[in-house]
Structure 1
Amino acid sequence: MGGVSSLDHPGIHKVTTALAEAGFDSAATGVRVLTDAVRTAAQAAAALGVEVGAIANSLVFTADGAPLLVLTSGAHRADTALLAELAGVAEVGRATPDFVREHTGQAIGGVAPVGHPAPIRTFVDRALADHPEIWAAAGHPKAVFPTTFTDLVALTGGTPVEVTR
């Protein structure tokens, strides 16, 4: 996967297709393939020249065995006890790479908010609303797309929440 330099990668194609089908053509056409992989919010922010808080980290957790996607500001660490309360489950834990790929069709480091095999319950960090433009992964560790908090919530059917106490 190191040679990705265009939008031809299957993961990126799934994301751009999902964005276009949802009516977010501007996000789909705004997908950027970066020179280097940006597996962390800090790397993505540095590559894009934006604040780390404007990066929408896609974190996949297990919520009593079911997938839970949390789109959190790169400036935050998600509080799993709080997420469990919000989700109404006993426990929210870290998902394995295989679990992430099974439920998103994407690898850790490039998980997009969309383009998954089936809808995933999603929480969206309210802190992302502090930024007029935010960047999310686009199905590959080198790919990102611009969006807004409002569009991200609409696109994912997500629930806006505070992810930290």
Structure 2
Amino acid sequence: MSGATGDPVAPAPRPDAALAAAPPPGALKVAAALEAAGAPARIVRTPASAHTAEQAAAACGCDVGRIVKSLVFRDGPDGPARMVLASGANRVHEKRLGRLLGVALTRADADFVKAATGFSIGGVSPFGLPEAMRAGMIVDADIARLDTVWAAAGAPDCVVEIAVETLLRVTGGRIARIV
């Protein structure tokens, strides 16, 4: 759950002074949400941005398929937000996903993502979300086949490794083929 200092957000083991700074508020929010859900986890601050799935995989030392992309869509141009958790190796097939949900989906812009999730793009986490964002969450079937994955943890340089079973329990996400 915590680093050696007791912080729920710990820097990766390296001497970078920049990583010793106070944890970002988004990462603390994610840590608190996981703790409240009975799933305490150690959030790791990476030495560089993990804004993309490829950057996150490099920072975590794992295959890009073990990275969870938290993607936000809209039900049409003025509809509510929908979150999809996709494998970092996959590109979401928007039309297939829209058919699955019975709506015409559009990608959300950065302002909408921030307003809907409380997180900026690059740090959008599947944890610590408003209740409305959790409703109807979809999880890529390719993620469900794994034991553990890495997800963004509230800031572009923060990630959390979590068991897929725990990810599914905490998010309430529905598994679906979306690629």
Shared fold, TM over 0.5? yes
CA 1:4 to 1:61, structure 2 compared with 1: closer, same or farther past 3 Å? farther
1:9 lines up with 2:21 in the alignment: no
Q: Identify the residue that residue 39 of structure 1 maps to in structure 2.
A: 51
Aligned match for 1:103, one of 97, 116, 122 = 116
1:7-86 matched pairs, under 5 angstroms: 8-25=23-40, 27=41, 30-64=42-76, 65-86=79-100
Give the count of matched residue pairs: 158
Question: Secondary structure of 1:37's match?
Answer: coil
The AA in structure 2 aligned to 1:40 is T
Kept after mapping to 1: 8 A contact 2:150/2:160: yes
Q: Identify the residue that residue 128 of structure 2 maps to in structure 1.
A: 115
- Ranges in structure 1 where 5+ consecutive residues have no aligned partner: none
Kept after mapping to 2: 8 A contact 1:97/1:107: yes
Post-superposition offset of 1:83: 1.0
Kept after mapping to 2: 8 A contact 1:125/1:160: yes
RMSD: 1.4
Post-superposition offset of 1:110: 0.4
Kept after mapping to 2: 8 A contact 1:123/1:161: yes
**In 1, Cα distance between the equivalents of 2:158 and 2:175?**
24
The alignment's TM-score, normalised by the length of structure 2, stands at 0.83
- Ranges in structure 2 where 5+ consecutive residues have no aligned partner: 1-17
| Superposed structure 1 runs of 4+ greater than 6 Å apart | none
The alignment's TM-score, normalised by the length of structure 1, stands at 0.90
Kept after mapping to 1: 8 A contact 2:147/2:165: no
Post-superposition offset of 1:133: 1.4
Kept after mapping to 1: 8 A contact 2:54/2:88: yes
Aligned match for 2:162, one of 134, 147, 164 = 147
**In 2, Cα distance between the equivalents of 1:97 and 1:13?**
21
